[in-house]
Structure 1
Amino acid sequence: MSAPSQPSGATQSEAKFDLGIWHTLFNWDTLSVAVQNHWGGPDSSDKRDWLAGAISEAFANEPLTDAEDIEILLLEVLQDEFGVRLEDETEVAIAKDIMAIRKEVLEGNFATVDRLQAKWEASKGKEVKAGKVQVREQNQDAEWDSVDEEEDDEEEEDRDVDMEDAPQLVAAKPKVAPVVDEDGFTKVVGKRRT
């Protein structure tokens, strides 16, 4: 039997680049929180994998793909697939990281990809703490900032309303019945100021 053939340099570089993209996305706290909380539905982790493939495909289809193209792709996918609108500009850092990995891999340098893989292996099974990511849910008029939960608790106590302070109810004025003339028209009665 012969030994399995080693991948060619170009194939190895492509595989390492794909791995680097995946690890970069996996280590992105914002996306990890979205996946852990299933903001993209039950197949959220599959969507992250798909995003990594879409980025790789963007470079394969258009070699002149740049960081701005990646930023736009990241923003669109997070919005469309996870319902996340980024305001922290972390997509800029992720796009720059991917571009740096691409440059290194094309030079035959796999150190960053190997480092990201080691980081991923060390964090397997651990959840990203939401404290690293600020989440604002606008559709429910609720805002959470888990960095300092004690302040949030104090603010909630301050917003509590004592029910004893509620105003007394006032009886409603009786409605005036409409006046209909002999031709069947309703007489318009203006409101009198008191």
Structure 2
Amino acid sequence: MSAPATTTAIPTELQDKFDLGIWHCLFNWPTLTVAVTNQWGGPDSSDKRDWLAGQISELFTNEPLTDAEDVEVMLLQVLEDEFGCRVEDETEIAVARDIMAIRKEVGEGRTGTIDSLHEKWESRKGKEVATGNVQVCEGHQEDMDSVDEESEDEDVDMDEAPALVPARPREPKPEPEVDEDGFEKVVGKKRR
């Protein structure tokens, strides 16, 4: 269940602070950190994180009734599209909730949370956060391993192709039956 949308507009002078708060929420998201660190989005993965922060900010600007669920959907979509990462640990819920809390706070003219996040980031000198217990699963790897084992077990002589067998001639299709109203009658294969 998502938090209700906050309709409090962000004061213009605090928009940059709100953008910084979004960025810090993304920077502190272990799942995205793993994707950026491992460059799953390519060599410009950290730029994609910055771009995502801008997209979330624009979402709030363009759609003032944006709620946590909208943010969650965007987070999941961008991680899958840009980083090839499907998130199944539901951590996007906490990130979206944090962004919504920062939005509410900034809408009320307060920036304490953002200032705290920024101070913490400065003390780490911008180093990536510890990823904690992020579990990475590669899809279909088990399926590929079993296919490889099966193909190793079979000894197939690839020198000669088998002889071709002539195809059976097809039976001619029966003429369609038309009823008295002019409609074509559908006849199942078994009745032909």
Say which structure is richer in strand.
1
Structure 2 partner of 1:36: 37
Aligned to 1:23: 24
- Equivalence for 1:167: none
* TM score, norm. by length of structure 2: 0.66
> Is contact 1:58-1:65 (8 Å) kept?
yes
Evaluate the alpha carbon distance shift between residue 125 and residue 96 of structure 1 in structure 2; reply closer, same or farther with a 3 A threshold: closer
Q: What's the TM-score, normalizing by structure 1?
A: 0.66
Question: Relative contact order (C-alpha < 8 Å, sep 6+): which is higher?
Answer: 2
Kept after mapping to 1: 8 A contact 2:27/2:129:
no
2:46 maps to a residue whose letter is S
> Structure 1 residues 64 and 123, CA, compared in 2 at 3 Å: closer, same or farther?
same
Of stretches 119-128 and 45-54 in structure 1, the one that deviates more from structure 2 is: 119-128
The correspondence of residues 17-166 of structure 1 with structure 2, limited to 5 A, is: 17-141=18-142
Higher helix share: 1
In the alignment, is the contact (CA less than 8 A) between 1:33 and 1:128 conserved in 2?
no
Q: Deviation above 4 Å: which 4+ runs of structure 1?
A: 127-131
Q: What is the DSSP-based 3-state SS (H/G/I as helix, E as strand, rest coil) of the residue aligned with 1:136?
A: coil
- TM-align CA RMSD: 2.7
- Cα distance in 2 for partners of 1:141, 1:44 equals 28
In 2: Cα distance, 1:85 partner to 1:16 partner: 30
Unaligned runs of 5+ in 1: 1-8, 143-169, 179-184, 186-194
Q: State percent identity of aligned pairs.
A: 66
Q: Specify whether residues 30 and 59 from structure 1 end up closer, same or farther in structure 2 by C-alpha distance, changes over 3 A only.
A: same
Deviation at 1:118, TM superposition (A): 1.3
Residues matched between the structures, number: 142
Distance 1:141 1:119 in 2: 41
